[in-house]
Amino acid sequence: MMKIQLQGLSLAVAAALSVSSISTQAAVNGADARSVAMGGTGVASASYLTASFYNPALVAHYDKNDDFGVLLPAVGVSLHDPDDLNQKVDDFQDVNDQLEAAINNSGGAPVSDALVNQWKAALMALDEGKLKADLSVGAAVAVPNRYLSMNLFTQAQIVSLAKANIDPADLAGVDGSHPPDLDNLQSDVLGIGGGIVDVGLAMGKSFAIPTVSLPEQTVSVGLSPKIQQLIAVSFQNTVSQFDDSDFSFEDEYRDDTAFNLDFGLAYQPMPSVTVGFSGRNLFKQELETNTPESPTGLAGKFTSKTLLVEPKYTLGVAYENSWFTAAADVDLNEQKYFKEFDLATQYARLGMELNGWDWIQLRAGYSLSLTDSAEDTVSAGLGLSPFGVVAVDLALQYGQDNNYGGALQFAFTM
């Protein structure tokens, strides 16, 4: 089972990178469509079926008529191209091809200064540019009960980073009479893909704490022991030779298997209010990527990078009644993804849901980035749950600078 998941994750990383060419950050805000629509909230507002993605203590929060649930693959994708880098890579390679043809046809004579200047501008436009494409896939089977509620889950998450590194030597002294040496450019594009596959069992139990002032208050505790499969891969090539087809890494990726643990608490002073706390991936993990093969003339320039899986602590609060839910989450620490880069994310999230007769749900949310590595996003979504048995959920996410995302899932409960 784990080998199959690893192969699937390999394809997912390849797909994410080949779509984006250059990418950064982690998956869409939220691991399921309901959460994505509600701004990524979930630590105090997730259902027993999606609790394993946010707070295992919520596995013990269910209605009296809940006996069994299945979450079919919940899929989320997002794309953020703040620098329009995908287009800039294509533009540079088009100009590079034109300049190469002009040099080859010049017979040693000077080429057009205007064409060389266009080439220089296109190369400089790539420097430090970023684009991200993210993917998250999850599934769960849950059996809530008063003895020990359980949720068997699996989740695959992609985190990817790429960066164009422009070498000033490629631009020094370049003009029509001294065109660049296109066969020996030192500027390069780095791409890193990292993935984490979790397979675990979330277990939660609630304890009543009756008092005179709050006779219905409860505390829930949850644990999720899990096996993690880590995969990391690194690609690097010159800016002129870089191509999406390079992302074929069947024999190049590194992988490792580790044990990890999630922990959660949920306190309900009354049935309609929940305060949640979760600590996910309590044991830090690291995995070094392969060392990319250096093209001729760049021997020794490319090095391996290191994927990080670090603990993440989140606090949340939610209010819920039969027709309305409001939730707020805040990450208590930054989450870093690669040791060699400053990329780190941290969010404060808000979300709401209107529930119409348990048949239709309208959702909206806002995710506030607390770091410079990501942008704020707004989100909205729709849920359809006829007869309270089959549920279909759709979410869309939008932010500034070509920032788009979406999620879709199917669930069955009884």
Per-residue pLDDT band for 21 (boundaries 50, 70, 90) equals: very low
**The dihedral formed by the CA atoms of 41, 43, 46 and 47, expressed in degrees to the nearest 10:** 180
- The answer to which of 178-187, 204-213, 325-334, 353-362 has the lowest mean pLDDT is 178-187
Q: Which residue has the tokens 């208590």?
A: 332
Give the span between the Cα atoms of 307 and 339, in whole angstroms: 7
Judged against a pLDDT cut of 60, whether residue 232 lies above it is answered with yes
pLDDT, residue 159, reads: 76
Architecture of domain 2-413: Beta Barrel (2.40)
Three-class SS state of 27: coil
Neighbours of 323 (CB within 10 A): 12
pLDDT for 2-15, tens place per residue?
343 444 444 444 44
Task: Write the CB contacts of 72 (distance below 8 Å, at least 6 apart in sequence).
Answer: 139, 409, 410, 411, 412
CA angle 338, 54, 364 (to 5 degrees): 100
Judge if pTM exceeds 0.75.
yes
Structural tokens at position 214: 């709050």
Task: Determine the angle formed by the axes of helices 85-106 and 113-124, rounding to 10 degrees.
Answer: 150
Q: Which of 53-67, 87-101, 180-194, 396-410 has the highest mean pLDDT?
A: 53-67
Per-residue pLDDT band for 150 (boundaries 50, 70, 90) equals: very high
User: How large is the average pLDDT for residues 27-41?
Assistant: 85
b/e per residue 283-314 (b: at least 16 CB within 10 A): eebebebbebebbeebeeebeebbbbbbbbbb
Q: Which of 100-104, 161-165, 375-379 has the highest mean pLDDT?
A: 375-379
Structural tokens at position 323: 């027709």
End-to-end alpha carbon distance in the chain: 27
Domain ranges across the chain:
2-413
Whether the Cβ atoms of residue 195 and residue 255 lie closer than 8 Å to each other: no
pLDDT for 187-227, tens place per residue?
887 778 888 999 999 999 999 998 878 888 999 999 999 99
> Any idea what DSSP says for residue 119?
H
Three-class SS state of 194: strand
Share of the chain above pLDDT 90, in %: 45
Alpha-carbon distances of 255 from 6, 12, 232, 233, rounded to whole Å: 9, 15, 6, 9
